[in-house]
Structures are given as C-alpha cells and as structure tokens.
C-alpha cells in the first residue's frame, strides 16, 4: 500500500478555494514532483500531506493511519520523527551555527550532544559545507545555506522529505547541484520525496509528476510513460 494516501482534499482561505477535491498517493521511497501554475494549490497540498495544515474535508493517511484529524501536538511529533521539511528559503535558525542547526533535530529526538554534533558534521561534509559548520546562516551564500537546510531535513533519516521549491531562490547551476544531492541522498536512504517545482528540469528528477490546476489534480502520470513512450 502507498505510504501516503490523500483523498478529496478541500481547503479554503476565506473565499479562496486553494484545494477543491485533490487526491494523490505517494509510495515508499518514491520521488513525486508536484507542478502547476502559481496559486494552483501546490503549497497547500504539501502542507496538508505534511500535517502542517488541516484540510476542511477529505483525508490524509500516513502509513495506514489518518493524520488529518490528529492534534497539533501529535502532528508536530510526527513531523519530527518521520518527516523532513525543506522550504525555498531554508528557514534556518539565524542565531545558530550551521552545525547547531543540523544537530537540532537530533537533539529534539533525544540524541546526546556529542553524537548529534558528530552526525551533523558528517552530513555537512556529505553536502560540501563542512567548511561552513561554524558560520551562521547570514554568513553563508544562498546555495550553502540551502545545503545546510538539506542536511537538516535529512539528518534524522525521515521517511518522507517535503520540499517546497527548494531551488527556487538559487541560480540554475547551484539549484541543480542541490537537487542532485537531494535526490541521491533520498535514494540512498530510501526516503520518499514530495517536491514542488515550477522547473521542468527539476521534475525530470522525479519518478512521477502530478499537475495541479485550480486546486484539483489534473494529471497523475508515471513520468516515464508520459515523456518517454511514443
């Protein structure tokens, strides 16, 4: 069975209907690209799947359990243990060094300080930003900060990584490097990825693509069948 199954999601902000019956599923280890015009509901869908936003109606099941009705506290706990989240602008904690930012999810999960710092260093090294370990986010380039954010999203070995335009603020070469790193790391660790993007080059990294239009999933095609068959 899929790792995540969302059915008939509806979500309105005042009169704006961001989602109008969107359904989507995600397999374990699958890399899913979510595309569609600005305002089509991509971020809202991702936020519903990740338990950040509660839909007005419809359901979200994760690993066989309904999560849309869980309390805020239990959804926060679930995000901490099972999900990694990566935004367009890393949202690193500005007062903390790169190392402390990456170690934080491990500390919150109960790791000891020394072990957390060792593991955080390993991930910084893996993503080519070990040299920035002691810098604060404001002292790094955008690409470096996004690599640190990526390390923070992956350090706990999440079952699912949710990435909302993770390369949107980067130049195309840096963006491609960050994307390659994300996809390789996810494949190595078996994490599934839900990836919002405007960029066709980015969605080419995905196993499957869903296209949103006006809050509804318009197409849900296996990437290979859609693009590589004749």
Q: Is 44 in the site for ligand ADP (CB under 6 A)?
A: yes
- The smaller minimum CB distance to ligand ADP, of residues 55 and 105, is found at 55
Smallest gap from residue 14 Cβ to ligand ADP (A) = 7
- The token pair at 223 is 């990437």
Size of the site for ligand ADP (CB under 6 A): 13
Cβ–Cβ < 8 Å for 159, 83: yes
- Nearer residue to ligand ADP within complex by CB, 52 or 78: 52
How many Å apart are CA 168 and CA 88, to the nearest integer? 6
Q: Quick one: which of 1, 15, 38, 65 contacts ligand ADP (CB under 6 A)?
A: 38
The least CB distance from residue 34 to ligand ADP, in Å, is: 8
Decide: 204 and 189 in contact? Cβ < 8 Å: no
Q: Among residues 89 and 130, whose Cβ is nearest to ligand ADP?
A: 89
CB of 47 to ligand ADP, least distance (A): 7
Q: What does the per-residue mask of binding to ligand ADP show for 142-181, with x meaning CB under 6 A?
A: ----------------------xx----------------
Question: Going residue by residue from 11 to 30, which x/- string records binding to ligand ADP, judged by CB under 6 A?
Answer: --x--x-x------------
Contact indicator for 166, 5 with CB cutoff of 8 Å: no
Note whether 51 binds ligand ADP by CB under 6 A. Answer: no
Dig out the tokens for 191 from the structure. Answer: 């994490």
38 vs 230, beta carbon nearer ligand ADP: 38
Span of 37-45, 108-116, 124-132, 149-157 interacting with ligand ADP by CB under 6 A: 37-45
The footprint of ligand ADP (CB under 6 A) covers: 13, 16, 18, 36, 38-44, 164-165
């Amino acid at each position: 069975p899929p790792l995540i199954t969302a059915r008939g999601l509806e979500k309105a902000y005042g009169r704006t209907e961001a989602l109008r019956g969107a359904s989507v599923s995600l397999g374990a280890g699958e890399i899913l690209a979510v595309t569609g015009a600005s305002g089509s509901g991509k971020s809202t869908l991702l936020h519903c799947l990740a338990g950040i936003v509660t839909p007005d109606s419809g359901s979200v099941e994760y690993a066989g359990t309904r999560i849309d009705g869980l309390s805020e506290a239990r959804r926060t706990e679930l995000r901490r243990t099972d999900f990694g989240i990566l935004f367009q602008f890393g949202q690193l904690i500005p007062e903390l060094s790169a190392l402390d930012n990456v170690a934080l999810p491990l500390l919150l999960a109960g790791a000891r300080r020394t072990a957390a710092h060792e593991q955080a260093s390993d991930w910084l090294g893996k993503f080519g930003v070990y040299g920035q370990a002691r810098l604060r986010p404001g002292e790094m380039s955008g690409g470096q900060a996004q690599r640190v954010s990526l390390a923070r999203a992956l350090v706990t070995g999440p079952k699912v990584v949710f990435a909302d335009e993770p390369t949107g603020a980067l130049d195309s070469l840096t963006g491609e490097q960050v994307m390659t790193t994300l996809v390789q790391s996810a494949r190595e660790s078996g994490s599934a990825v839900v990836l919002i993007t405007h960029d066709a080059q980015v969605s080419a990294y995905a196993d499957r693509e869903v296209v949103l239009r006006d809050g509804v999933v318009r197409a849900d095609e296996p990437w290979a069948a859609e693009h590589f068959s004749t």
